[in-house]
């Protein structure tokens, strides 16, 4: 297995299981710390909206029995652990009888499509900007212009989203302000539908790219500075290699490893979405679904979404740890 040892693989698998267990335990506890009863809250919302709820007490009791809320907390916990281990997230409290897996399956493609593209673009652009900022042979004109791209780093993505909405959706009317595609279109692979999806996703994606690009750039700049004085860089220059070859093959290749680690973690967290951005643009992704779960005190929906986020991030970190020796041959986990 290259530079891996059996002991290390077993240890990493154990850490993976421990991380997932701790995460599922936390997301079981936190929603139950919130005040109020989720079933009573659901009935209260129905009454507020003007609905006539007959036999409310019987409905509340039936719901509590159906979702096991009358069981002792430790019984609920062990049932939840078993359902999580079997990937059975069950039914939504607020949207019963919808299954949580089905709800996530409908929202996940939109989140992956939006955030995966935004993450890839911000990773590529940010690392290129950071490397150029640290490279001594970067032209002065470019060196002066590049810091402008970092000015949005300290601004939250939802604030950028509000600015983009104001200028490009309301003032200029270039892009739609909400939704994932135009009403009246039938989903399919035709150019009209694809163009509508891209147009609706442009502003949310830009708000994420503009904010996250700066963190990639700053991280890459720090790593490039540390590699600039290394012996292999000096040797490559002494051998007469072209500056671009030194820049890409020797500088970026050796500096990008920590960035790949961060990229893997960010990739695993895609399921969580950029919640506030999806809320602002009413984009029907997993982040917006999580917001609905929080708004409706839907324990089961919150637990289901966050559980998949935890599993996704843990798997991404596990894969990165096991593939490090393939990325950089200098790294080995075998005992000498």
60, part of any domain: yes
Least confident span in 26-35, 90-99, 264-273:
264-273
Cα angle, residue 111 at apex, residues 45 and 290 outer, rounded to 5°: 25
At 176, the pLDDT band (50, 70, 90 cuts) reads confident
pLDDT for 200 beyond 80: yes
Distances (CA, A) of 24 to 19, 36, 227, 300, 331: 9, 22, 40, 12, 32
Query: Do 195 and 68 fall within a single domain?
Result: no
Give the mean model confidence (pLDDT) for residues 46-71. 63
**Distance (Å, whole) CA 150 – CA 118:** 16
- Joined together, the tokens standing for residue 161 give 């989203």
Q: Is residue 103 part of a domain?
A: no
What one-character-per-residue DSSP string does 42-88 give? HHHHHHHTT---TTHHHHHHHHHHHTTTTS-HHHHHHHHHHHHHTT-
258 upstream amide cis, omega within 30 of 0: no
Give one DSSP letter per residue of 138-184, joined into a string: S-HHHHHHGGGGGTTTTS-HHHHHHHHIIIIIIIS--S-SSSSS-TT
Could you tell me if residue 130 is inside a domain? yes
Which two tokens mark 21? 């267990």
Q: Are residues 194 and 315 in the same domain?
A: no
58 and 115 within one domain: no
Total number of domains in the chain: 2
Residue 101 lies in a domain: no
102: in domain: no
Q: Are residue 115 and residue 212 in the same domain, yes or no?
A: yes
Residue 199 sits in the same domain as residue 115: yes
Does pLDDT of 269 surpass 60?
no
Range of weakest confidence among 50-59, 68-77, 278-287: 50-59
pLDDT of residue 120: 84
Helices H / strands E in the chain, number of each = 15, 0
How far is Cα 220 from Cα 223, in angstroms, rounded to an integer? 5
**Rounded to whole angstroms, how far apart are CA atoms 227 and 222?**
9
3-state secondary structure of 91: strand
Enclosing domain of residue 325: 1-95+298-336
Taking CA atoms, 250 is separated from 110, 197, 236, in Å, by: 38, 40, 8
Contact 112, 270 (CB under 8 A): yes
Q: Scan for tokens 């860089």, then name that residue.
A: 233
pLDDT, mean of residues 185-199: 77
pLDDT (average), residues 178-191: 75
Q: Are residues 247 and 139 in the same domain?
A: yes
Tell me which H or E stretch contains 249. Answer: none
> Domain of 163: which CATH number?
1.10.3720.10
304/272 same-domain check = no
Same-domain pairing of 130 and 211: yes
Does residue 66 sit in the same domain as residue 132? Answer: no
Condensed to tens digits (0 to 9), the pLDDT of residues 212-235 reads 777 777 777 777 777 776 777 777
Highest mean predicted confidence (pLDDT) among 45-49, 77-81, 93-97:
77-81
- Give the per-residue pLDDT at 1: 47
**In this structure, are 254 and 120 located in the same domain?**
yes
Q: What is the pLDDT of residues 296-312, one digit of tens each?
A: 777 788 888 888 888 88
Q: What is the pLDDT of residues 101-157, one digit of tens each?
A: 888 888 888 888 888 888 888 888 888 878 777 777 777 766 676 667 667 777 777
Q: Per-residue pLDDT averaged across 43-68, rounded?
A: 62
If asked whether residues 114 and 83 sit together in one domain, one would say no
Residue 133 lies in a domain: yes
| Residue 238 in domain | yes
CA distance 176 to 78: 46
Structure token digits, residue 253: 């290749």
Residue at 100 is within a domain = no
Residues 6+ apart with CB under 8 A from 21: 81
Residues 70 and 91 in one domain: yes
């Amino acid at each position: 297995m290259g530079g891996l040892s059996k002991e290390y693989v077993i240890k990493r698998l154990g850490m993976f299981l421990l991380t997932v267990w701790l995460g599922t335990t936390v997301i079981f506890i936190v929603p139950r710390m919130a005040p109020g009863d989720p079933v009573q809250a659901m009935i209260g919302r129905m009454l507020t909206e003007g609905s006539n709820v007959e036999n409310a007490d019987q409905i509340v009791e039936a719901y509590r029995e159906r979702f096991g809320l009358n069981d002792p907390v430790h019984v609920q916990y062990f049932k939840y652990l078993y359902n999580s281990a079997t990937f059975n997230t069950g039914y939504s409290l607020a949207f019963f009888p919808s299954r949580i897996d089905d709800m996530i399956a409908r929202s996940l493609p939109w989140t992956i499509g939006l955030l995966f593209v935004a993450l890839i673009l911000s990773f590529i652009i940010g690392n290129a900007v950071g490397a150029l900022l640290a490279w001594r042979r970067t032209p002065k004109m470019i060196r002066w212009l590049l810091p402008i791209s970092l000015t949005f780093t300290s601004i939250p993505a939802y604030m950028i989203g509000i600015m983009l909405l104001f200028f490009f959706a309301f003032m200029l009317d270039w892009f739609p302000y909400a939704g994932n595609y135009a009403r009246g279109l039938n989903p399919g692979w035709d150019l009209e539908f694809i163009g509508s999806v891209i147009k609706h996703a442009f502003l949310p994606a830009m708000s994420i790219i503009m904010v996250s690009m700066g963190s990639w750039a700053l991280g890459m700049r720090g790593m490039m500075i540390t590699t600039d004085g290394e012996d292999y860089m000096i040797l490559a220059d002494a051998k007469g290699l072209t500056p671009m070859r030194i820049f890409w093959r020797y500088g970026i290749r050796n500096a990008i490893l920590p960035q790949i680690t961060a990229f893997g973690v960010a990739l695993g967290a895609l399921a969580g979405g950029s919640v506030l951005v999806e809320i602002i643009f009413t984009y029907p992704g997993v982040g917006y679904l999580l917001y609905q779960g929080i708004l409706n005190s839907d324990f089961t929906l919150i637990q289901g979404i966050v559980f998949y986020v935890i599993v996704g991030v843990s798997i991404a970190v596990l894969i990165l740890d096991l593939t490090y020796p393939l990325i950089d041959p200098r790294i080995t986990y075998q005992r000498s």
